Amino acid sequence: MDGTGQELGTLEELPPDYVDQLTKQYAAPAWPSLRDIIPYDRPVCRTQPHIWRYADLRPLLMRAGELTPMEKAERRVLMLSNPGLEPAPFATAGIFFGLQLILPGEMAPNHKHSPSAVRLIVEGEGGTTTVEGERCPMEKGDVILTPSGLWHEHEHLGAGPMIWLDALDAPVVVPLEASYCVAGTPQRPGNQPDASQTRYRRSGLVPYDGLGRPANDYPLKRYPWVEVRAALLDMAAGAGSADPVHLAYVNPETGHECMPILGFSAIMLRPGEERRLPRRSASTGYLAVEGEGETEIDGTSMSWQENDVFVGPTHAAIRHRNGSSKNPAFLIQVDEGPMQRKLGYYEEFEITD
């Protein structure tokens, strides 16, 4: 039954010879499958609420380090594949998540590609990602941008494994048949600190020499977690107890989201805090940077700990709970908000019940 109370015509009701002729012309009537394209009231989602626990995945990633040398991998990544989207190796309909490992002394060679990638650092010390000659140290919780078309390579001169979560917009770029990669020769990074420590040291201040010029697309590649965490704690101290403590990663020159397709933001849940979110048109992924808690997505409850990754579909009802009554918990959120806002279909729905 249709939402108007009207039954739409089916393929079976049409004369078989007519359907045959259409098929031969590679054409088809829309009305028998119209509701597959535009279902009433909310999309039909294949993406399922799902959690990948770090305790389960870390040993498997370390094993990949033993099984597959870097020369055989180019990028040693385990793809987090949503059970509802198989065989596509995507975490949600719009987000690719992969856990990447490099070991001491290894290098992931220089390349660039049309999908954009963002690194959310999970574990380790002494690794760097070099983006267009800017060497970015990788520290736990850091967010590092490697936007579409920019050269990037990873190197690990420290001790112990270096592990991070890759967030790519590949589920958007691949089906649109626009995904490809170019291999490069090693970069020659300068030895000066990255822009978060120099030109964009503090929000509200931008280099004077940029005034009046067109804004740079990616002036800041690295957002150090120590700064983000401190900003969240200070925001919480100044906020009303019911206000969300939630900061978006933006381009410091424009104030716009830091990436064009995927959005990145950091959430602090106060000790004991429980928060129900308005349903939103974007799908969502989370990395638990610190703490423990429980998140319910469309009725599926998932308890998480540090470094776990969990996701939900578009239009989902989401509720977070900090499992500790003593300590704050911190999540990094990923969604397709920037793309949906640009295309004009981003929505938030009021909580009605």
Q: Which is nearer to ligand 1HN, 61 or 267 (CB)?
A: 61
Please tell me whether residue 117 binds ligand 1HN under the rule CB under 6 A. yes
The DSSP annotation for 280-316 comes to ESS-EEEEEEES-EEEEETTEEEEE-TT-EEEE-TT-
Nearer to ligand 1HN among residue 96 and residue 225 (C-beta): 96
Q: Binding to ligand 1HN by residue 285, rule CB under 6 A?
A: no
User: Of 49, 94, 98, 161, which one interacts with ligand 1HN (CB under 6 A)?
Assistant: 98
Alpha helices in 139-224 (DSSP H): 170-173
- Contacts of ligand 1HN in 143-162 (CB under 6 A): 152
In terms of Cβ atoms closer than 10 Å to its own Cβ (0-12, 13-18, 19+), residue 304 is buried
Q: Choose, by CB under 6 A, the member of 46, 53, 75, 315 that binds ligand 1HN.
A: 75
CB 78, min distance to ligand 1HN, A: 10
Nearer to ligand 1HN, 264 or 330 (CB): 264
Q: In this complex, which beta carbon is closest to ligand 1HN, that of residue 141 or of residue 252?
A: 141
Contact between 77 and ligand 1HN by CB under 6 A: the answer reads yes
Q: Which residue carries 């969502």 as its tokens?
A: 284
Please give the size of the binding site for ligand 1HN, defined by CB under 6 A.
10
Backbone phi and psi for residue 209, each to the nearest 5 degrees, phi listed first: -70, -10
The nearest distance, CB 256 to ligand 1HN, in angstroms, is 24
Write down the least CB distance from residue 112 to ligand 1HN, Å: 9
Span 182-221, contacts to ligand 1HN by CB under 6 A: none
Question: Which residues are within 8 A (CB) of 157 and not within 5 positions of it... i.e. 6 or more apart?
Answer: 104, 105, 126, 127, 128
Rounded to a whole number of angstroms, the minimum distance from the CB of residue 90 to ligand 1HN is 10
Specify the amino acid at residue 122. Answer: V
Name the minimum Å distance from CB 248 to ligand 1HN: 23
Asked whether 293 and 303 are in contact (CB, 8 A), the reply is: yes
In the block, residue with structure tokens 């009802």: 317
Q: In the block, which residue shows the tokens 């055989």?
A: 72
Query: What CA–CA distance (Å, rounded) separates 58 from 60?
Result: 5
Name the residue nearer to ligand 1HN (CB basis): 117 or 277: 117
Question: Position of tokens 């099984």?
Answer: 67
Minimum distance from CB of 98 to ligand 1HN (Å)?
5
CB nearer ligand 1HN, residue 133 or residue 278: 133
| Angle, alpha carbons 197-146-222 (nearest 5°) | 20
Residue 122: phi, psi to the nearest 5?
-105, -45
Q: Does 100 bind ligand 1HN (CB under 6 A)?
A: yes
How far is residue 310's CA from residue 239's CA, in Å, rounded to a whole number?
27
Q: Does 168 bind ligand 1HN (CB under 6 A)?
A: yes
Chain residues in the site for ligand 1HN (CB under 6 A): 75, 77, 98, 100, 108, 113, 117, 152, 166, 168
